[in-house]
Amino acid sequence: MSKVAIVILADTAGPGDIGRAVNGLMTAKEFKEAGDEVQIIFDGAGTKWIGKFNEEGSKYSSLFESVKDKVTGVCGYCAGAFKVTEDASNNNICLIDQYDGHPSFKNLVDNGFTIITF
């Protein structure tokens, strides 16, 4: 059984960024369907995806919903910097602040997680 943390860092600016974020969700879905332990973390500019994936009519909202139970949270510091803390709160997604306001990737590695970034 694999233990994987999917970290979405991609911005929301262009088609390449959309592709990276969607690929992150698809990867999480694959691990989830295989019964593996998977976490999704939105960090950096990637924190903006919480609002985008939940917009009415979003092309990828159903994909996001299929893996939402695997979302550990968003970086608390970055959500504040990108002004999306309200998006996280409105979608019942936790702000992660384990290491100086950010997620602790060391903790994930120490607990046997492979980290994959998108």
Q: pLDDT digit string (tens) for 34-74? A: 999 999 999 999 999 999 998 888 899 999 999 999 999 99
The SS3 assignment for 115 reads strand
| Torsion sign over Cα 83, 89, 92, 93 | positive
pLDDT of 54 reads: 86
Tokens for 5?
Answer: 């943390």
pLDDT digits (tens, 9 = 90+) for 87-97: 999 999 999 99
CATH superfamily entry for domain 3-117: DsrEFH-like (3.40.1260.10)
Could you tell me if 42 and 63 are in contact, meaning their C-beta atoms sit under 8 angstroms apart? no
Q: Among 74, 30, 33, which Cα is nearest to 52's?
A: 74
Per-residue DSSP letter, 9:
-
Instruction: Indicate the domain borders of the chain.
Output: 3-117
